[in-house]
Amino acid sequence: MNRRFSFGLSALWLTWSLSGCASTPPEEDPVQIKLKDLDTRLERIERVMANQSLLDFSNQLESLRGDVRAVHNDVDQMNNAIEASRKQQRDMYADLDQRLKNLESRGSGASGTAAPPAVAGAAAGAAAPATSNAPDAGDDKAIYQAAFTLLKDGQYDRAIAGFQKFLATYPDSSLADNGQYWLGEAFYVNKSYPEAQSAFQRVIDKYPQSRKISDALLKIGYCRYEMKQWDSARQVLGQVVARFSDTPAGRLAQQRLEKMTAEKH
């Protein structure tokens, strides 16, 4: 009987032990706890990486926005330069047209008092009208306009030759300062910056009363910028801003100075 009782106690203890093991919640298993901890840490790392990717994307987006703003700024500067150039051309054509009208009015006023060349020659006893190899008074304008047309058509080398011929043939023409300036422009668009700078400087030196002074000084600053003479370019452009602040040249000079600052020149 003692043996049966002992066997029963053993069985009861074994049953209790097994039931106790079975009742242990899975979440209390150290292996499960470790796995859950690893999962949590992995999720945290994934969130950090996702946030970092978003930050990188945001930085790239802001950089692209900066590039777009810079492009818009360049476009605005180009539009301003184009508009200033168009205004200069309109002013030049208006000035030329007015001068031609003045010449025509003077010529028509004199025609009522002077005898025609053939009559004057006959009164002097000449058998035939006198001839002369001297150029007509309007030849300087024709040569100037031909050179200017070449410049507008993009034939820069021919335009340079045309303006040089005009200036050599008619150094005292009323259009000489304009011709000197556009010679500089022809050199400039041809990327001959030292020659362009010399041509613009001659406008300032030889024609101090010319309306092209502000534009010539601006373009000297541009030439020095293109030749990477940063300090000298800043000095010249600063003069344009100080002397001609309310003109297109002054505004363009200020824009170029701001561009140089952005470029760290």
pLDDT at 129 (0 to 100): 38
Q: Which amino acid is at 122?
A: A
| pTM of the predicted protein model | 0.50
The token duo for 238 is 């600063």
pLDDT at 139 (0 to 100): 87
Tell me which residue of 257, 217, 213 sits closest to 234, measured CA to CA.
Answer: 257
Give CA–CA dist 243/215, Å, rounded. 12
pLDDT at 36 (0 to 100): 78
User: Is 9 a residue whose pLDDT tops 60?
Assistant: no
pLDDT at 34 (0 to 100): 74
Give CA–CA dist 89/112, Å, rounded. 36
User: Is 164 a residue whose pLDDT tops 80?
Assistant: yes
CA 182 to chain centre: 20
pLDDT at 233 (0 to 100): 96
Residue 68: pLDDT band with limits 50, 70, 90: confident
